[in-house]
Amino acid sequence: MAGTRFAYVRSYEQPDPLLPNTFLVVRVDGHGFHRFSDTHGFEKPNDMRALELMNHAAKDVMEAYPDIVLAFGESDEFSFMLHKSCTLFNRRHSKILTSITSHFTSAYVFHWSAHFPNTRLEYPPSFDGRVVVYPTEREVKDYFAWRQADTHINNLYNTTFWALVHRGGLSTAEAHSRLKGTVSKNKHEILFSQFGINYNVLPAIYRKGSVLLRGETTTTPGAARDGQEGSAEGGMLLIKRVKYTP
Amino acid sequence: MAGTRFAYVRSYEQPDPLLPNTFLVVRVDGHGFHRFSDTHGFEKPNDMRALELMNHAAKDVMEAYPDIVLAFGESDEFSFMLHKSCTLFNRRHSKILTSITSHFTSAYVFHWSAHFPNTRLEYPPSFDGRVVVYPTEREVKDYFAWRQADTHINNLYNTTFWALVHRGGLSTAEAHSRLKGTVSKNKHEILFSQFGINYNVLPAIYRKGSVLLRGETTTTPGAARDGQEGSAEGGMLLIKRVKYTP
Amino acid sequence: MAGTRFAYVRSYEQPDPLLPNTFLVVRVDGHGFHRFSDTHGFEKPNDMRALELMNHAAKDVMEAYPDIVLAFGESDEFSFMLHKSCTLFNRRHSKILTSITSHFTSAYVFHWSAHFPNTRLEYPPSFDGRVVVYPTEREVKDYFAWRQADTHINNLYNTTFWALVHRGGLSTAEAHSRLKGTVSKNKHEILFSQFGINYNVLPAIYRKGSVLLRGETTTTPGAARDGQEGSAEGGMLLIKRVKYTP
Amino acid sequence: MAGTRFAYVRSYEQPDPLLPNTFLVVRVDGHGFHRFSDTHGFEKPNDMRALELMNHAAKDVMEAYPDIVLAFGESDEFSFMLHKSCTLFNRRHSKILTSITSHFTSAYVFHWSAHFPNTRLEYPPSFDGRVVVYPTEREVKDYFAWRQADTHINNLYNTTFWALVHRGGLSTAEAHSRLKGTVSKNKHEILFSQFGINYNVLPAIYRKGSVLLRGETTTTPGAARDGQEGSAEGGMLLIKRVKYTP
């Protein structure tokens, strides 16, 4: 066979099984999304269309990979949790990591126009990914608590920051300076006293991120198959927000 | 800080540097492309539009990652070679692997309509990827020789197979059976005597795959050690220079 | 500095942290111990001196590495379990693995003459080692159950085999043949009916291997600190045999 | 079979092949040798007996593992180089690493009394080890140049330091202080002007370390097999010192 004498190069492809019986988290992250969001005019501090697109892509990934039982998204990142006993692709590291990252990316581009009907996609966005292995449930819970705490901290900061800029007339440098050294309480006060914003009634998707749980029971399983879900506030099927108290 | 007590979960993200001073090959592969090509009516044995789309996506990847000096594509796979001294992302395995795989995927979807103007993309395609590390030049050369030998073998088989089916009136089972045990010479004979096809004049992109070299711009094709190269339509041998305007 | 221009070679030493918060088992195994036991006239099927020497070496390892909470030995192998929260050597794989394997080897040679006072050590014995990572307690328990089941199976076979050879007058080939296809019950019967041996009253160290537990409480704490332990049958402190019912 | 239901724990033993066709260096290092050399009265700055014992252990390792073509030792460390095409233990990382580290340790203890006939070994010494993978010859050469430069730097410092202490009557603190900021030239001058020591005529084994090369041709092949070698200065067979100019 023509290729036989070259086939030895295959021996350089090394096995990369992930430890059995551990929780796997695949986190994808937007690559260069500062520029991407500027180019495409994302609203600040949050762009509902962009978040819904992320959720849409994540839902596609969950539908394609039944081993994913939970996903959490915020800003331009999404974390997917595969259950302990998952044997997807024989738990090969690269295969799991790239399949999920690629599927997410593909769905993001594919669904772009549904969420940004009036905004042309200027160039192909990309995401990097990583797998993190957690031996027990406690660590996985803390992982998601960590991501959600991050959501809260970032969003409170960004909400106050952009209120100072958009409505308070500060430059971005002035807004940074104004917020330096402030704690949560101070930011709540600025929002409320200066702008009349009650932070706690802002959309939960901004404050707490998005949680996608594999739906187990539903009275309308057909709806699940069709991928319908409710709005951020309404009676959604697949997408849920978790409760979080910082 | 609210997230502090959860931040220990970061310690589970393990370092994954690739061995310094080695050649890195990232190979991406279509996931479930048998179904994908059926759904989207790819011509058999080769669909020029699909190959050009693959090349387009690969070119985008090469433009985004200057460390890639060479790429080779065939069918639904593409291999990217990063030079030995590459320090992209500090040679972090997951970061390099996913960034390239994701970018390729994104570009594939992004450019779909340019290559398939009359075919709606029905669902998001995805690719898996892997990194292979080669210590010396000899192995990298043999790697690409291996992939190109694979291209040749598969294409000769597929070309003969589909000639037997499309023009010879055989069922796919009969065509498989007819080709069982045949060697290259036999397939050439079938193509020529039965269908008047001179395999060697079929488009080089089908027979030898696509090679993308970082362009140094040359007006003398002889500068390439292997001799001629040209456009996909012309008498290209192995090497096709991509047009690249940064 | 003279060495500076070569120091880049250090960058090829890659990080190798073991996953945090997992149970680590280091298993060492005699290298070429068939020949070694023949050369040094080990008694078959069991040599109490050799087993006590293994236990002595293991005890030294446990005294040197307080992170080891449990060890199990049989024949020419020993398994050491490090507790989940162990941060020995920052959990560096190679460092943990080689330190324990080397210490075990060293102690084995060091204590040789105490256990084989009349047998000269003819050449240096060696051991290989590996680390196995277990995420939960259940798997670690099953690991030790697996090793102990192995002890039982091997010892019942070997005891019967050597009874047939030493006392039954069979050749080793005949003994192998005689035991082919037999189950536990058959071997017990051969031992009892043919040789009057009640397998269950043979020394526990032969049938069940050796378990070393880090002593936590004792009426003679001074003794514990000094590393004293009783005989295999008597009131030992550190070395214990576990109960095992196959 | 009794052990069957536990055997799943074997699946946690992960494959660990080293990259094919690369140079492997295994470096072993004394563990806690500051204390060990104090306890056993090693002469400072160099103890010829201790170095010869290291060389002896290394020679044993090289005889046991023909894949090792070169070894370099200094102080309490030794580096072994396995040739590129080595397939020892199918290039399994842990197996290669621990077998060599364990063999070295064993030989060190085994040969102790031959080199320290009047010094009782007080406790078992141990070594840790690591494998470093180098893709090309240049890096391996630089690796050994790096270790030898290290030998030179350390030995020049230590020789001067102990001359100041033993013969100059300085305390160790004073000697450290005296050498602070000095370069090679200064140390040579101190040795020569203050103590009449010409550093360059000190035994090469101190200044340049020990190199063991697999002997390829010899007029007395029987001697080679018996493991004889010449003195440090004489016509040795296996053990050679390399020339080194910093």
Domains delineated in chain A: 15-143+205-240 (3.30.70.3000)
For chain D, percent of residues with pLDDT exceeding 70: 86
Mark yes or no for CB contact C15/B12 under 8 Å: no
| Average confidence (pLDDT) over A150-168 | 97
- β-pairing, B77-82 vs B68-74, is antiparallel
CA distance A134 to chain C (A): 8
Contact by Cβ (8 Å): A190, A128? no
Strand partners for B27? B79, B130
Residue type, C167: R
Is residue D221 very low, low, confident or very high in pLDDT (cuts 50, 70, 90)? very low
Q: Is residue D167 within 8 Å of residue D195, measured between CB atoms?
A: yes
Contact C121, D110 (CB under 8 A): yes
Using H for helix, E for strand and C for coil, what is the string for chain B? CCCHHHHHHHHHCCCCECCCCCEEEEEEEEECHHHHHHHCCCCCCCCHHHHHHHHHHHHHHHHHCCCEEEEEEECCEEEEEECCCCCHHHHEHHHHHHHHHHHHHHHHHHCHHHHCCCCCCCCCCEEEEEEEEECCHHHHHHHHHHHHHHHHHHHHHHHHHHHHHHCCCCCHHHHHHHHCCCCHHHHHHHHHHHHCCCHHHCCHHHHHCEEEECCCCCCCHHHCCCCCCCCCCCCCCCCEECCCCC
| Record: contact C19-B20, CB cut-off 8 A | no
Closest of B148, B137, D22, B83 to residue A14, by C-alpha: D22
Give the pair of three-digit tokens for residue D209. 């370390």
pLDDT in tens, C57-90: 999 999 999 999 999 999 999 999 999 999 999 9
Whether C99 has a pLDDT exceeding 90, the answer reads yes
Going residue by residue through chain B, which has 246 residues, state the pLDDT in tens, using 9 for 90 and above: 556 899 999 999 999 999 999 999 999 999 999 999 999 999 999 999 999 999 999 999 999 999 999 999 999 999 999 999 999 999 999 999 999 999 999 999 999 999 999 999 999 999 999 999 999 999 999 999 999 999 999 999 999 999 999 999 999 999 999 999 999 999 999 999 999 999 999 999 999 999 999 975 433 332 233 333 333 322 222 334 433 232
Q: Please say if the pLDDT value at position C224 is more than 50.
A: no
Provide the 8-state DSSP code for D55: H
CB-CB neighbors (< 8 A) of C25 in chain A: none
How far apart CA C47 and CA C50 sit, in angstroms, is 5
Confidence band of D206 (pLDDT split at 50, 70, 90): very high
Whole-number Å distance between alpha carbons of A243 and A208: 8
Chain B CB contacts of A123 below 8 Å? 110
pLDDT at A3: 64
Q: If you average pLDDT over every residue of chain C, what do you get?
A: 88
Q: Which residue of D12, D15, D17 is in closest CB contact with A20?
A: D12
Query: In B, which residues are within 8 Å of C11 by CB distance?
Result: 20
pLDDT for C4 equals 81
Across the interface, whether the CB atoms of B124 and A142 are under 8 A apart is answered: no
**Residue C205 confidence (pLDDT) above 70:** yes
pLDDT digits (tens, 9 = 90+) for B144-195: 999 999 999 999 999 999 999 999 999 999 999 999 999 999 999 999 999 9
% of chain D at pLDDT higher than 90: 85
Q: What pLDDT, on a 0 to 100 scale, did the predictor assign at position D241?
A: 40
Residues in chain C with CB shorter than 8 Å from the CB of A136 are: 21, 135-136
pLDDT score of C2 more than 90: no
Q: Which one of D134, D139, D140, D141 would you mutate to disrupt binding with B, by most B Cβ within 10 Å of its Cβ? A: D134
**Does residue D2 register a pLDDT over 90?**
no
* Least reliable range by pLDDT among A3-7, C82-86, C222-226, C237-241: C222-226
Is the ipTM value over 0.85, yes or no? Answer: yes
Do D135 and B139 lie within an 8 Å CB cutoff?
Answer: no
Task: Compute the average pLDDT of residues A219-226.
Answer: 31
Chain A interface, mutation test: which of C136, C140, C142, most A Cβ atoms within 10 Å? C136
Of B95, B127, B153, the CB nearest to A128: B95
Min Cα–Cα distance to chain B from C137, Å: 19
Instruction: Check whether D100 has a pLDDT greater than 80.
Output: yes
Q: Per-residue confidence at A215, pLDDT binned at 50, 70, 90?
A: confident
Looking at residue B2, its pLDDT comes to: 52
- Please state the three-class secondary structure of C159-226 as a single string: HHHHHHHHCCCCCHHHHHHHHCCCCHHHHHHHHHHHHCCCHHHCCHHHHHCEEEECCCCCCCHHHHHH
Contacts of D134 in chain C (CB under 8 A): 9, 12
Tokens 């990316």 identify what position? A105
List the structure tokens of B92.
């972090």
Provide the residue type at B126 as one letter. Answer: S
- Amino acid B239: pLDDT: 38
Q: Which pLDDT value is given to residue B43?
A: 97
Question: Hey, of C59, C94, C102, which one would you mutate to test binding to chain D, going by the most D CBs within 10 A of its CB?
Answer: C102
- d(CA D29, nearest CA chain B) in Å: 23
- Closest chain D residue to B23, measured at CA: D135
Q: In what order do the strands lie in the sheet with A126-134?
A: A126-134, A23-31, A77-82, A68-74, A210-213, A239-240
| pLDDT of D246 higher than 50 | no
Instruction: Yes or no: say if A199 and A188 are a contact pair by the CB < 8 Å rule.
Output: yes
Cβ atoms of residues D56 and D9 within 8 Å: no
> Smallest CA–CA separation between B15 and chain C, in Å?
7
Q: Does the pLDDT at position D17 exceed 80?
A: yes
